[in-house]
Amino acid sequence: MANDNKKLQINPKIFRAYDVRGVCPKEIDEEVAFEIGKAFGSYVGAEMVVGRDARISSKEIFEAFARGVNWVGQDVVNLGVCTTPMLNFAVAHKKFKSGAIITASHNPPEYNGVKLIGEKAVQLSSSGGMAEVKALALGHQAREAQKKGTVRDLDILPEYIDWLSGKIGRFTPIKIVADAGNGIAGLSAAPVFKKFGLEVEELYFEPDGRFPNHQPNPAEEKNLQDVIKRVVESKADLGIVFDGDGDRAFFIDERGKTVQVTFLLAAIACEELRAHPGGKVYYDLRFSKKIVETIRRAGGVPVRTKVGNPFYKERLILQGGLMAAEYSGHFMYKEHYGLDDGLFSVLKVLYWLSKCGKSMSEFVAPYKKNVFISGEINLEVENPAAALQALEQKYSDGKIDRLDGLTVEYPQWWFNLRPSNTEPVVRLNIEAEDAQLLKEKTGEIIKIIKN
């Protein structure tokens, strides 16, 4: 591979709102990774910590990325194979100026990419840093240093395990079924579960970048079925499904039912706020409106936030607060550097279940009463902008908000419609005061969108 291929054409679409991601090797290969490493090394101008997941292409992408960082004179601290939370922990805990992890998170095996991390583990996004790195990479603007950087190794896992163990109080061990989806989460989850004395049935903890059992995306119901089946058959107390890079976890209650993030946030926030009254709780604008009154009743300050987990982390880290949660299962806590960490989230849930003496279904039950929400509905459209405009005209008498997409509120119901950043799809969420109104408005809005 040439060190500096000025003629290399990089697909600009791989630079997304808060990471770099594409099909490998069609969109991301070693040459592209080398250019991204050069660009990020130039942008940061300092030593950085870098890790990778267990995808088939990750080792080669890592090596090329690291060469790019070294090419512009910056050193790389190599974490080797690790979870995204371990990488973020290394940045925050050991005060590195930046970091990067080679991963495509929950995407299918043909994908790969890079998450770029700044100081305090704030992830680069379209509103901070990503545009600059993109310009440097696409324009091949990085300059070769006379003195090249070096690579040294760091094993962060022991320190990470000790940190988690010190942050979570002891709890009564329960029977768990945990699914790592052949992603990387089992690397840290297995030793932590053992340290806490948990009885765990492990599913697909062996990292395998081909993901032979199911895709590592717990947001899709089909990827939860193996855990659901085993929870019911083995009469386990809880089911857990990690995503591919370990930064989030989904929960299955003792009856085999998926626990919605909205209700889990409400339950946890109420417990956390008993000890930390007045704390800010950042919540996803797609959540039930009842989350607002729940947080206020518990003595907290609810802060409505647009979609995208890096935005929650950034606000929690830089503006302060108690915790945050996003619809797709990312939970963040101030006490854990504001990081979204599926394993820390699991330990928090186990701690509160033990302290409250409740099953998972009992823990969230009070917050599910009289809540009628659609869940996210994805609709293919040729012109997403036209769909938003049509709905804004139709519901112009409602309270309109454009924090993220289009939100329209009425006293008895509300909806949010957001366009996808990468495909001709709009994402619809609706809540109403009763099931009949929810059904009526869902049909009404979908008809408008389709027309």
What is the C-alpha separation between 428 and 418, in angstroms, rounded? 7
Contact 426, 381 (CB under 8 A): yes
**Which DSSP string corresponds to 238-305?**
EEEEE-TTSS-EEEE-TTSPBPPHHHHHHHHHHHHHHHSTT-EEEEETTS-THHHHHHHHTT-EEEEE
Structure token digits, residue 322 = 């108690």
Instruction: Put the strands of the sheet holding 238-242 in their side by side order.
Output: 199-203, 175-179, 238-242, 249-252
Instruction: Put the strands of the sheet holding 99-102 in their side by side order.
Output: 20-23, 111-117, 99-102, 48-52, 76-81, 151-153
Structure token digits, residue 154 = 């760091």
Contact 296, 288 (CB under 8 A): no
What is the C-alpha separation between 51 and 87, in angstroms, rounded? 6
What is the C-alpha separation between 124 and 38, in angstroms, rounded? 16
Contact 223, 241 (CB under 8 A): yes
Extended strands (E) in 120-214: 151-153, 175-179, 199-203
Query: Amino acid identity, residue 283?
Result: Y
Measuring CA to CA, which residue among 57, 112, 56, 62 is closest to residue 87? 62
Choice among 57, 105, 125, 288 that is catalytic: 105
Measuring CA to CA, which residue among 367, 282, 292 is closest to residue 332? 282
Our CA dihedral for 426, 432, 434, 439, rounded to 10 degrees, sits at -30
Using omega within 30 degrees of 0 as the cis cutoff, is the peptide bond preceding 25 cis?
Answer: yes
What is the C-alpha separation between 282 and 272, in angstroms, rounded? 13
Known catalytic residue at 105: yes
Active-site residue set? 105
